[in-house]
Chain A
Amino acid sequence: MKRFIIFLLTALLLLSTAYIPAFAAEERGILLGEGQSHTYIVTAETDGEYKLSIEYMAMPGRQISPQVDVTVSGNGESFSRRIELTRFWKDGTTADRFDTDVKNNEIVPDQVEQTLWQTMSVGFNKTTGGAAVALKKGEYRVDITVAAESVRIDGVSLAATSVLSYKEYLKGVGDSSSAATEIFTEAELTSGKSHSSIIPTYDRSNYSVSPNFYDRISLNIIGGTCFSEDGQWIEWEIEAPESALYSLSFRYYQNGIRGLGVGRSILVDGQLPYAELGSVLFPYCQNFKDLTPSDDEGNPYLIYLEKGVHTLRLQVSVTHIEAETLKLEGLVQECNKMYREIVEVTGTAPDVYRDYYLDTEIPGLIPFFEDAVTRLTDIAKAIDENAIDDGSETSVLYEMVRVLEKFIKRPDKIAEALNDYKTQIDSLASTMLTLKSQPLVLDYITLTPENLQREGTASNFFTNLIFRLKLFLHSFVSDYGTYTKGSKGQIDVWVNSGDLLSSGTASGRDQMQIIRRLSDSGFTTNTGVGIKLSLVSAGESLIKAILADRGPDVALFVDETTIANLAIRGAIADMTGMEGYKDARSEYPDSAFIAYTFGKGVYAWPITQNYSMMFYRTDIFGELGLSAPNTWDEFNRTIQKLAQHNLQVGVGAGQDTFEMFLLQAGGNIYTDDLKGSGLKEPQAVEAFTRWTNLFIKQGIPLAYDFLNRFRTGEMPLAISGYTTYNQLVALAPEITGQWEMVPIPGTYDEQGNLNRTQSSNVTGAIIVSDTDNLEGSYEFIKWWASSEVQTPFGIQSEAILGKAARYNTANTVAFSKMNWTTEESHQLLTQWASVTDIPQTGASYYVARCITNAYRRAVYDYENVRDVIYRYSDDIDREIKRKLEQIQW
């Protein structure tokens, strides 16, 4: 018996070891996390053009694709580039097409990541972008450092880029048998995509878009600006009923780029069949059109498909324009640099009556302009040559040439036309952005066998008219709100369509749809309570509605002042009565609740929290030998040093800047009991003086367009809301890597700690007091506030609205899952820890007015600062007293 057991155990042991290789086999390659690197040795067999081929698997993490910095060195040369290794996403839908809501409208599916091995073949020289690099025969060293997210890399090699030409391809295919059926696939039914932001959407403007119904929304197109960046791709599964040669036809819409069209590569089963499919241009059009990639004589390009299932991949290709955009990028940078040099001499508002002798002051000025003219003309010519259509893109370049030639001829006119110069650079940068972006909208794809005649789909004017009429009439019948029925009743939720600038959140119809989706599957199914969602503009209509007893049960994204006013009058419910209050609250920082706390109750739940960070240009600071200021004294000195070069600094003229100084000095707007103004205290006076001095003595501009000035570099330092970060990333790619976001300057307190306190701006969710369904409302708020909901909400918002609208959630757990890189996250969290808030009272609106007025009196009229702040502080005191007679808080 014993021997038998031992035998059994050893057998099991031996058997299990057989699986180990299998497990080990799964763990291919090397796992590299953020910041980690690895070196590979590769060989170039002969002299030639090569791309780097990387086999990788993106490890699940955040939504952004892993980014790696690659350096290839050898034979005395070195190339480097940052490469994005895209993930693989799929639609998570269970239905045939897409899941639908109660009214049969198709809803945008969740994006689900597939973790699998992919191969990427990519250029590795920054100055030539995605093009292959010419290498000599020999060995090369490849250093790979992961900059964001984590990947597994299994192999790196140099791939010679020799692709067949079409003729060779056809020869290789030989004779094909004829086929009888077309292959048709709707473009929105994808089998894979590179980014989770590439989602299907709908276009109901034309009946010919397939499929389209007047009484419900069907997602019938995919693409647009979400499918426009280099490296993005979409994949479809197609089934060829017979082996044959097929021609491709895309039903598309492209209204982004006129002259050059938009480029795509077509890959079949992951491979480029032949060179001509590497850059297919989709011309500009105002309505949906068909494109059949063809050669110069109009014969359609054919691809051979064996009978069976294949994948068709369409990838964004910028090869037709990349060289020019890279040159433009460099040119924009240099123009900006020259602008700064001019500004050093003349200031940003030069005296038009003075001759600055710029050509002698700045020796390289005229040669630079002449060189720029040549470069611009070359780029413009190259673009025009490649243009397949009449376009307006080069007009901007020619305009710049005109301006520069004027400067070359008359250097004395540069000073007075400085603004023109700057605007031209702006428009050049904008054009560069436009050229880089390759948006394309697809409706459906058809593959036609060689011998079959393709039938075009003409869109009949009349059928279209009838369709639009039906649509229009139907819109009267359909409901503006969306709702799902629940078994345990229903609650009314109003979503406030906020102002992007003031609260840092853009909430609108798209976000409402996201809430709809999340609540249907998450909330209603679990609790049985149905939700009726409506989009409203807050402020007056919310208050009026509550007054007239027509208010909602719950309202989202409401601003601080409205909440304060409603809370002290007992119009909204106390959140502390919610079951599980403490647990839900643990996911949020305490600072987010300050504005909602009155007495012992908390009358709203924070949703977003916005605070400021400091932004500065590392390259300019490097040139001038400056470093980012840590304290306000350093900040002031930096302003002076920058002023010597006629560069500006931006600080908001709003109350939040004042609050920064106030809180860091240890003061507050109200006295501790909230029944008086705290602005007469010495800390407040000092804070006010410092704040206004920034504008009076230091000359900080009163109003400015931060984005553009930061780009040109004339304002290399500014304090701005942290959501500005996203705008900079999305809209100023030419300065990537040349700027940083760090916490705001602080003040040293008595213990020697650096105090970086500042106030914040929150938006919140409220429950109206006389709701019929308090329990249901509490449940909703609890559900909504949890990170399980806030995370997908933020991620999907960003996917739909773009990077520039990243969600500034107040939920710390959800925040950590947003698409910030580790470095960015670290900076934000450091600042967030010092963020607090000013409490609200019934007189808060009055305080805001008084502070604004005080500021204007001091800054516009140069009144004595102390007098001004005392006067307005007394005013606030009076108002608080008056208000306290009416209502307590």
Chain B
Amino acid sequence: MNKRKSTSGFWGRYGASYFLLGWWLILFLVFTVIPIIAAVILSFTNFDMVNMPKFVGISNYVTLLLDDEIFIKSLSNTLFYAVVTGPLGYIMSFVVAWMISETGRTVRSVLTLIFYAPSLAGNVYMIWMYIFSGDSYGILNSVLMRLGLITAPLQWLTDPAYNSYVVIIVVLWMSMGAGFLSFVAGFQQLNKELFEAGAIDGIRNRWQELWHITLPQMVPQLLIGAVLTISSSFAIGAQNAQLTGNPSTDYSTHTLLLHMSDYGYARFEMGYASTIAVVLFAIMVTTWAVINRALRSMSND
């Protein structure tokens, strides 16, 4: 006789799940929750990492929100990059995936690899530094000088007028990542019948096709893509530091993350850095919640 495991009762029903989850939960507490709590606590102190923290109440928040120009600058930078690389990268991934989806199979896999390669490459953006180097032997400079468009080398990486754009290019280059892949996959398994039905129903051009048929089927990917994009665009920082210096001239490519690590590691003001971290975190969570709601409602159409 097969023994019947009891499936009733609290433990019976949920015990297994708690067991499986248990691992994860404990360390989640330790590695994620505790640092967040620590950050929140530290945000009310002055902590220079060598001596004990000194409690200062909400003065850090006051300074941050009212008196810190660099914060405003880095906030606007971060939002700027987030908007540009977020939606822009998103749309770009979508468009490229869409175009790729209509090519043949081998071409498609080759192109997918090509476009995914930058995010595989990770920290290999040194090349960009050679391209945008500020002396007359930097590749871009020498090409432009040879063409006669400029007479003296431009300081792409240190001149505040240019370095934001350099950063955007590089980040966009790296932005076609897992989201892009899921779009490619999504396109592949779209329901063909719907397209035919649409053609009969009078859909005349591609735009309508895209809006009415393709997009609604892709909502789950859009969701995933959104989550990934938000988290990565708010976390832009490392590339900027490498390319334009840390900090960049007049903080022109400074982002919230860099602002945070600047205060934390360069200025020895961990308390203030924690404040920035808390604010950054709040912004990210809010944005995500908003997008989540928006996409949910769209999928219910």
Contacts and interface: CB of A to CB of B under 8 A. Distances in A.
User: So, do A and B actually touch in the complex, CB under 8 Å?
Assistant: yes
Interface of A: 349, 351-353, 416, 419, 540, 543, 546-547, 565-566, 569-571, 701-705, 842, 845-846, 849, 852-853, 856-857, 860, 886-887
A569 B51 contact: yes
Interface stretch (B3-11, B101-109, B168-176, B260-268): B260-268
B132 to A, nearest CB: 12
A853 B250 contact: yes
B49 A547 contact: yes
A886 B269 contact: yes
Contacts of B268: 565, 569, 842
A349 B249 contact: no
Contacts of B161: 860
A860 B159 contact: yes
A416 B269 CA distance: 53
Interface stretch (B15-23, B145-153, B182-190, B196-204): B145-153
A703 B134 contact: yes
A569 B48 CA distance: 8
Contacts of A704: 135
B155 A860 contact: yes
23 contacts: A349-B136, A349-B151, A351-B151, A352-B148, A353-B148, A416-B146, A547-B50, A569-B49, A569-B268, A571-B50, A701-B135, A702-B135, A702-B155, A703-B135, A704-B135, A705-B135, A705-B137, A845-B266, A845-B267, A856-B158, A856-B250, A860-B155, A860-B161
A137 B250 CA distance: 76
Contact of B265 (A540, A702, A857): A540
Contacts of A860: 155, 159-161
Most buried by A among B51, B148, B161, B250: B250
B46 interface: yes
Given A705-B135, A845-B266, A853-B250, A349 B152 contact: yes
- Top 8 closest A-B pairs, CB basis? A703-B135, A569-B50, A571-B50, A547-B49, A856-B249, A352-B148, A703-B134, A853-B250
A571 to B, nearest CB: 5
Given A705-B135, A853-B250, A857-B250, A543 B49 contact: yes
A566 B50 CA distance: 8
Contacts of B220: none
Interface in B31-65: 46, 48-51
A878 to B, nearest CB: 10
Contacts of A353: 148
A659 to B, nearest CB: 20
A703 to B, nearest CB: 4
A852 B152 CA distance: 21
A391 B247 CA distance: 47
Given A349-B152, A570-B51, A702 B134 contact: yes
Contacts of B160: 856, 860
Contact of B247 (A547, A705, A849, A857): A849
B269 to A, nearest CB: 7
B142 interface: yes
Nearest to A854: B250
Interface in B244-258: 247, 249-250
Contacts of B146: 352, 416
A763 B148 CA distance: 45
Nearest to A546: B50
A254 B268 CA distance: 51
A400 to B, nearest CB: 19
Contacts of A849: 247
Contacts of B137: 705
A886 B46 contact: yes
Contacts of A703: 134-135, 153, 155
B50 A853 contact: no
Interface in B224-250: 247, 249-250
Interface in B124-150: 134-137, 142, 145-146, 148
Contact of A419 (B142, B152, B159, B249): B142
A419 B142 CA distance: 10
A74 B136 CA distance: 52
A349 B153 CA distance: 10
B134 A543 contact: no
B118 to A, nearest CB: 27
A886 B134 contact: no
Contacts of A546: 50
A853 B249 contact: yes
Given A853-B249, A887-B48, 15 more contacts: A349-B145, A569-B50, A570-B51, A702-B135, A702-B153, A703-B135, A704-B135, A705-B137, A845-B267, A849-B247, A852-B249, A856-B159, A856-B160, A857-B250, A860-B160
Interface string B194-227: 0000000000000000000000000000000000
Nearest to A571: B50
Nearest to A547: B49
B141 to A, nearest CB: 10
Contacts of A540: 265
A325 to B, nearest CB: 27
B156 to A, nearest CB: 11
A571 B51 CA distance: 9
B265 A543 contact: yes
Nearest to B51: A569
B202 to A, nearest CB: 57
Interface string B258-301: 00000001111100000000000000000000000000000000
Contacts of A702: 134-135, 153, 155
A352 B134 CA distance: 21
A540 B267 CA distance: 12
B29 to A, nearest CB: 21
Nearest to B59: A885
A571 B247 CA distance: 25
A849 B247 CA distance: 8
A399 B9 CA distance: 86
With most chain A CB atoms within 10 A of its CB, the pick from B148, B247, B265, B268 is: B268
A627 B152 CA distance: 29
Contacts of B269: 886
Contacts of A852: 249
A857 B145 CA distance: 24
A566 B48 CA distance: 10
A348 to B, nearest CB: 8
A413 B153 CA distance: 21
A887 B271 CA distance: 14
A857 B161 CA distance: 11
A347 to B, nearest CB: 10
B153 to A, nearest CB: 7
Contacts of A565: 268
Contacts of B136: 349
Nearest to B133: A703
A570 B145 CA distance: 53
A853 B249 CA distance: 6
A352 to B, nearest CB: 5
A731 to B, nearest CB: 18
A790 B60 CA distance: 47
Nearest to B247: A849
A419 B135 CA distance: 13
A372 to B, nearest CB: 24
A547 B159 CA distance: 36
B161 to A, nearest CB: 8
Contacts of A856: 158-160, 249-250
Looking at B50, B137, B153, the one whose CB has the most chain A CB atoms below 10 A away is B50
Nearest to B151: A349
A547 B49 CA distance: 6
B34 to A, nearest CB: 16
A565 B269 CA distance: 11
A570 B268 CA distance: 13
Contacts of A352: 146, 148
A886 B152 CA distance: 45
A547 B268 CA distance: 11
A859 to B, nearest CB: 9
A570 B50 contact: yes
